[in-house]
Homo-oligomer: A and B are copies of this chain.
């Protein structure tokens, strides 16, 4: 295993210490391992929280700050955070207007966020939660009952965070998050595995001429393992199931999001975006907004995912709103 770490068991703690050293103007870390916006809690503002296993970078700590998350709960790599983290986060960002939990649909995350919500309610904090389950590849999977939560989560965090920043109440913010979930679909693929530090070896093996279509962000199996194809063919294999699922229709405008799994050069993501833009044009779907880069990774896995979000004026306005976090910053 070749990694810039000191030891698997210290990796997440030292990552968080490095984030604070680099971005102490935006975030702080409280115990047990919660990344909190420096100015939290903000009185009267709905708190927005997410969390999940580390390694899906820059999730979620990189998205903590003005206009996005109030706190993030990072677990060990590819491992759900514990309820104590989620409770600490909820308490830390509670400004009296309630707290929304944005939860990716993985069994551990769901269970622990539910427990934390109950504990927070017992302390008198109003908590709502929305589950993101946007991956059309498979119905159930290794860690999931129902669809997995993937790229749509990033878009939900940005859009919902902007609404909370603008002063929306808990019911409004919750409904907006559900609206994102209802209008977003994703699918991904991998060219290589990644290596979880504590495991020390690749999560799975792929032949030199093989790829996996519909893979999950933990390397969990997808739809099919097949011979390597061209970028255009792969883009088609991902985009068509995504488009057909909602379905996205002629006249729709979308946020087109091509995400890298971590080990894929930006050049390749733009080659995929190029083909995606042609496919969308062929179906009469307009690209309202674009988003290209490593925004929800699987450590150093090579591969990509495509996420489409059907836009309306409200979603576009909140997507465009100012944001200032370690990973995403604009308008300020």
Contact = CB atoms under 8 A, between A and B. Distances in A.
DSSP class of A's interface residues: helix, strand, loop or mixed?
mixed
Nearest to A209: B2
Contact of A272 (B4, B266, B272, B277): B4
Contacts of A294: 266, 294
Interface in A237-264: 256, 258, 262-264
Interface residues of A, number: 64
Nearest to A290: B22
Contact of A22 (B192, B265, B292): B292
A264 B211 contact: no
A294 B19 CA distance: 15
A262 B300 CA distance: 9
A261 B222 CA distance: 29
Interface in A1-31: 2-7, 11-12, 14-19, 21-23
Interface of A: 2-7, 11-12, 14-19, 21-23, 54-55, 57-58, 62, 77, 191-192, 208, 211, 228, 230-232, 234, 256, 258, 262-274, 277, 287, 290, 292, 294, 297, 299-300, 302-304, 324, 326, 329-332
